[in-house]
Amino acid sequence: MVRETSASQGNFQEKASMAPMMQSKESTMKAMRFHEFGGPEVLCYEDVPKPVPEFGQALVRVKAASINRIDIWAEKGIYYKPSLPHIPGSDAAGVVEEVNAGDESFIGGKVIVYPTLACFHCRLCIEGSHNLCTNRKTLGAHVNGSYSEYITVPIKNLMRMPEALKFEEAAALPLTFTTAYHMLVDRAKLQPHETVLVLGAGSGVGSAAIQIASLLGANVIATSSTEEKLRKAQRIGADVAVNYAEEGWVDEVMAATNNKGVDVVIDHIGAATFAKSIKCLAKNGRLVTCGVTSGNEATIDIRELFSSQRSILGSVQGTMKDFIAVAKLAADGKIKPLLDSVYPLRDARKAQERLLSRQSFGKIVLVP
Ligand SMILES: NC(=O)c1ccc[n+]([C@@H]2O[C@H](COP(=O)([O-])OP(=O)(O)OC[C@H]3O[C@@H](n4cnc5c(N)ncnc54)[C@H](OP(=O)(O)O)[C@@H]3O)[C@@H](O)[C@H]2O)c1
Ligand SMILES: [Zn+2]
């Protein structure tokens, strides 16, 4: 049941009072917002103050937003603790309505948003590592996000939307594809002749990683939890699909590699798989980790690392360059955002419940 409440004075109101006189005609908008930490039940469909673009920002009318696991963490107050009330949502595609001191040719244009809010002037940003920016924030986790009719974002974070994509597809692209690309290309430095094991094919990151790894020419082994999802994994590029809900899945992976192991593992599942992922690695193999869906603590046998010269690599989001690369691949039709389902914004609770039920494959999208 969706609760409707009237607009309250929130962060947006404070922002509006400081911002230049660019107030749009309507001063409120609909958004899915939470006032306390918890599960999907804390989301309320509300009238909230419409944001006003600050210097260097654009006002984007959100045409589609997609759901990520990070929304769940921010909502629970785990790993991220935004100030309340808060609007989640890291991924957005929409139309630019206003810009405050920036490239006005964006106005009226379709855009996708790079969700990593970097300062663009610290040493790491200048080196191109926007994902490691000293002042990094993430749209929807630290500041109000895309579960709303409008967002304000830095103009530097906008990219023109590939013509080939619908808004729903474009919104499914930014966070997970950029993260998967960064893991495979920048961190693992995956080579065409190598074998990669992608865990959790049903996830946003997993379904993106399968496509990108396959495109790079690697041999892809994917795991998932149901036979139906395994078939879908094969349809998007997995050469071998293994059910990791069953005991003995590590043996299956080893058998698929003639007991050599895989060169790269893409692990975002965390506690439930981490130790086993290491066992799946070949000599000189690299495990790249970006997530802890099943928990953030694992016990490993350190000897399994050094005796076969295996490496563990952390990975966080992606650089602007990765984001551009991903958008180009999508524009060229080489990768395709996979839509599991599309919900009206006001049904965001149901949409998140679907994500938590582990039934989805690919991305769940919200349309205001
Ligand atoms: N470091 C970063 O920059 C970064 C960026 C993006 C995401 N992440 C992290 O990467 C992970 C994946 O993100 P996402 O948004 O792609 O995830 P998601 O779409 O929420 O993934 C859901 C899928 O995860 C799999 N899964 C495995 N174990 C699960 C469990 N215990 N409970 C529920 N689902 C489980 C299921 O697929 P199967 O049935 O196929 O197993 C499920 O359908 C998250 O932990 C997220 O926080 C990190
Ligand atoms: Zn920076």
Distance CA 95, CA 112 (A): 9
- Provide the sign of the torsion angle of the four alpha carbons 135, 170, 63, 359, taken in this order: negative
Class of domain 4-173+337-367: alpha beta
- Could you tell which of 358, 360, 361, 365 is best to mutate to test the pocket of ligand 1, judged by most ligand atoms within 8 Å of the CB? 358
**251: pLDDT confidence band, cut at 50, 70 and 90?**
very high
- Could you tell which of 205, 267, 353 is best to mutate to test the pocket of ligand 1, judged by most ligand atoms within 8 Å of the CB? 205
Question: Cβ neighbours of residue 264 under 8 Å, at least 6 residues apart?
Answer: 184, 188, 190, 194, 195, 196, 197, 218, 285, 286, 287, 288
pTM: 0.93
Question: What pairing do the DSSP bridges indicate for beta strands 110-113 and 91-99?
Answer: antiparallel
Distance CA 234, CA 239 (A): 6
Of ligand 1's atoms, which has the minimum distance to the CA of residue 223?
A: 40
Average pLDDT over all residues of the chain = 93
Ligand minimally distant from the alpha carbon of residue 354: 1
Distance CA 3, CA 100 (A): 34
- Residue with the nearest Cα to atom 25 of ligand 1? 200
- 42 near 36, Cβ under 8 Å? yes
- Provide the sign of the torsion angle of the four alpha carbons 130, 10, 146, 206, taken in this order: positive
Distance CA 330, CA 262 (A): 27
How many Å lie between the centroid of ligand 1 and the Cα of residue 293? 5
Q: Residues spanned by CATH 3.40.50.720 within the chain?
A: 177-314
pLDDT at 343 over 80: yes
Fold of 177-314: Rossmann fold (3.40.50)
Beta strands in 205-338 (DSSP E): 219-224, 240-243, 262-267, 281-289, 311-314
Distance CA 110, CA 62 (A): 10
Of ligand 1's atoms, which has the minimum distance to the CA of residue 364?
A: 19
Q: Residues spanned by CATH 3.90.180.10 within the chain?
A: 4-173+337-367
Amino acid symbol at 296: N
pLDDT at 24 over 90: no
Instruction: Express each pLDDT in 295-309 by its tens digit.
Output: 999 999 999 999 999
Beta bridge partners of 113: 158
- Residue with the nearest Cα to atom 23 of ligand 1? 203
pLDDT at 333 over 80: yes
How many Å lie between the centroid of ligand 2 and the Cα of residue 157? 13
The more confidently predicted of residues 4 and 175 is 175
How many Å lie between the centroid of ligand 2 and the Cα of residue 116? 10
DSSP designation for 80: -
68 lines ligand 1 (CB under 6 A): yes
- Residue with the nearest Cα to atom 39 of ligand 1? 225
How many Å lie between the centroid of ligand 1 and the Cα of residue 205? 7
**102: pLDDT confidence band, cut at 50, 70 and 90?**
confident
- Provide the sign of the torsion angle of the four alpha carbons 178, 181, 186, 188, taken in this order: positive
- 171 near 313, Cβ under 8 Å? no
Of ligand 1's atoms, which has the minimum distance to the CA of residue 293?
A: 45
For ligand 2, an ion, list residues with CB under 5 A.
118-119, 122, 125, 133
Question: What pairing do the DSSP bridges indicate for beta strands 158-160 and 150-154?
Answer: unpaired
The predicted pLDDT at position 74 comes to: 98
136 lines ligand 1 (CB under 6 A): no
Ligand minimally distant from the alpha carbon of residue 132: 2
DSSP designation for 108: T
Distance CA 233, CA 98 (A): 41
